[in-house]
Amino acid sequence: MTFKHIFKAEANWTSKQKLADSSKRFYTKSHQIQVEGKPILDVSAAKAFKGDPELYNPEDLLLSSLVSCHMMSYLYVCSQNGIEVLEYSDNAEATLEVNPDGSGRFVEARLYPKVKISNSDQIELALELHHKANQLCFIANSCNFPVLHEGSCEVI
């Protein structure tokens, strides 16, 4: 049986800036994303695309979604396999390629999860479970580019 869940988000933008040279159309990229019952997200384009570098951009949010979803999937599979995870961190990166016509796409994401567990006998299993977590991750399953993992594990 398949279960469906609907997620909603609202985007709001207004033109707040006018350039002196009206022959060129330039729109500010800053806008807000609202999800009901949650704080408003101030978002812009990436700095490379003339956005506000102090705000989140869609590329940041996509990679953040991958990192977060993988972590939650990983914690789930660890709990299913009796692994006590004490700490989890990740310094992920994603590669975006932009074509001469302005189109582009992510071609790869690399996650570098660092896990600390309590049992030294489970290090190998803890590392293998990143593959299972990737199979379960909703966001990774929705991407049309590879999501790779280079995990590390230590005991504390």
Q: pLDDT digits over 25-60, tens only?
A: 678 899 999 999 999 999 999 999 999 999 999 999
- Quote the pLDDT of residue 24: 62
What are the start-end ranges of the H helices in 25-142?
58-80, 123-136, 138-142
CA gap 34, 40 in Å, rounded: 5
Amino acid letter, residue 56: Y
- Quote the pLDDT of residue 28: 87
- Quote the pLDDT of residue 15: 82
Average pLDDT on 106-129 reads 98
Q: What is the pLDDT of residues 61-87, one digit of tens each?
A: 999 999 999 999 999 999 999 999 999
CA gap 83, 1 in Å, rounded: 29
pTM: 0.90
Instruction: Say yes or no to pLDDT of 20 above 50.
Output: no
Mean pLDDT of all residues in the chain? Answer: 94
- Quote the pLDDT of residue 122: 98
Q: Residue 151: CB partners within 8 Å, gap ≥ 6?
A: 111, 112, 113, 114, 115, 127, 130
Tell me which residue of 114, 111, 119 sits closest to 143, measured CA to CA. 111
